[in-house]
């Protein structure tokens, strides 16, 4: 409020309240992810990371 832009402060408060109302009454339902799928995705991510680290180590060794 250093420059006395009260109209902007009011607009921001109204926008924050509208955002609160929209998110409070939305109809989005939760969904469950099976543990097996989480484990599968994690294994794939770890394998990709290990392969990348191995390639980087080989590249460093070649230099």
Q: Tell me what the mean pLDDT of segment 9-28 comes to.
A: 92
Find out whether 1 and 9 touch, Cβ atoms under 8 Å: yes
| CA torsion angle 8 14 17 18 (round to 10) | -120
- What is the domain range of residue 48? 6-26+35-62
Domain count for the chain, please give it.
Answer: 1
Q: Is the pTM of this model over 0.75?
A: no
Q: Answer yes or no: is 16 within a domain.
A: yes
How many residues are recorded in the chain? 63
Q: Answer yes or no: is 1 within a domain.
A: no
Find out whether 22 and 14 touch, Cβ atoms under 8 Å: no
pLDDT band for 1, please (50, 70, 90 cuts). low
């Amino acid at each position: 409020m250093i420059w006395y832009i009260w109209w902007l402060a009011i607009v921001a408060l109204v926008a924050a309240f509208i955002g609160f109302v929209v998110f409070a009454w939305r109809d989005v339902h939760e969904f469950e992810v099976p543990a097996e799928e989480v484990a599968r995705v994690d294994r794939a991510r770890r394998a990709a990371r290990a392969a990348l680290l191995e390639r980087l180590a080989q590249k460093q060794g070649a230099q």
